[in-house]
Every structure is written in C-alpha cells, then in structure tokens.
Amino acid sequence: MPLVKIELWPGRDKETKKKLIEKVSADVAEIIECPTEAVTVVIQDIPKENWGIAGKQAG
C-alpha cells in the first residue's frame, strides 16, 4: 500500500523519528482509509552539502 518517503537533514534523534513515523502512519491511514499496518514510512537523512535550495548549497 502507501509508501511515504521523508528526506531530512541529519540531526534528529531516534525518539523524534519514532514519533514522526507513528504520526505520519496514523494520518495517512486515516485519510486514505487503510490499516496503519499497511503504511510504510522511510526516513532518509541527507547531508546539507547534498541539498540545494534556491540554487545554493544548504550546508
């Protein structure tokens, strides 16, 4: 079923990521009316030097 990919700059701790996964999963499941167990969330930490905003490197 649904796959949610979240890309972030590094620095969030394990507990923050756990809460994010729980809340995103619950919200997606509620909105599209599927079981929470069917939702997959992937968090990828991307270094700021690999991230560009408005033509400029973020880090």
Residues 25-52 have pLDDT tens digits of 999 999 999 999 999 999 999 999 999 9
pLDDT for 22 equals 98
Q: Is residue 2 flagged as an active site residue?
A: yes
Residue found under tokens 């990828």: 44
Residue ranges per structural domain of the chain: 3-46
> Which residues 6+ apart lie within 8 Å of 18 measured at CB?
none
Q: Answer yes or no: is pLDDT of 4 > 90.
A: yes
Q: Which two tokens stand for residue 35?
A: 């079981």
What was the pLDDT predicted at 1? 87
Out of 2, 10, 35, 47, the active site residue is: 2
CATH code at 3-46 = 3.30.429.10
For residue 23, what are the CA distances in angstroms to 33, 35, 57?
A: 15, 13, 30
Give the E-state strand segments of 1-59 in sequence order.
3-8, 40-45, 52-53, 56-57
**Pair of tokens at residue 41:** 């969330």
